[in-house]
Amino acid sequence: MYVNLGELKEKGSFKKFSDSYSPDNIDYFNREVKIPADFAVSLTVYKDSDGFIFTGRLTGKFILECSRCLKEFEQEVDRELNFTIPLEDIDEISRVNISSYIHEVLILAIPIKALCDSDCKGICSQCGADLNQESCDCTQEDLDPRLAKLEQFFDES
Ligand SMILES: [Zn+2]
Ligand SMILES: [Zn+2]
């Protein structure tokens, strides 16, 4: 994502702009974070004596897989953007690439633990039932493995 800063010559001059940012799906510690649509970026950029100061917002959504029930769900993203690009980092004033700054904020918006709902009951580790939709009897039948062996012994004899 590029922005032309050539018109901001005086210190204190600024401009507002908006654009869309279209990242690829993100592989986040072996979890896939899907990006279903472009993110919206709205920014104001101010010229300072030794660089450009950007402030604004990044909005869009992720599709994440719930770490308990493994269902995909949408998560809204609405983050503040706040970064400065020093003049010495700029090669071409008419075409300044700001993607890496936006991407960094996007990565920080990914939750460490993805949950479709803080009350998600997950899936039964034994029968695979989605415990948000149905209940199962596994917990009641969840015998001590030694007792289960004993039970099997009596069944066979
Ligand atoms: Zn869930
Ligand atoms: Zn079960």
pLDDT confidence of residue 147: 60
**Nearest to residue 130, comparing CAs of 67, 71, 64?**
71
Q: How far is the CA of 21 from the centre of ligand 1 (A)?
A: 28
Which ligand is nearest to the Cα of residue 69, counting in written order?
A: 1
Task: State the chain's mean pLDDT as an integer.
Answer: 90
pLDDT confidence of residue 138: 85
Average pLDDT over residues 94-123: 94
Question: Is the pLDDT confidence value at 141 over 90?
Answer: no
- Under DSSP, is residue 6 helix (H, G, I), strand (E, B) or coil? coil
- Kindly list the protein residues that place their beta carbon closer than 5 angstroms to ligand 1, a single-atom ion: 66, 68-69, 116, 120
pLDDT confidence of residue 102: 96
**Nearest to residue 25, comparing CAs of 83, 95, 71, 72?**
72
Residue 29 — very low, low, confident or very high, per pLDDT cuts 50/70/90?
Answer: confident
Question: Is the pLDDT confidence value at 149 over 70?
Answer: no
Average pLDDT over residues 28-32: 88
Q: How far is the CA of 136 from the centre of ligand 2 (A)?
A: 5
Q: By the 8 A CB rule, do 39 and 77 touch?
A: yes
Q: How far is the CA of 137 from the centre of ligand 2 (A)?
A: 6
This model's pTM is above 0.85: no
Question: Is the pLDDT confidence value at 12 over 60?
Answer: yes
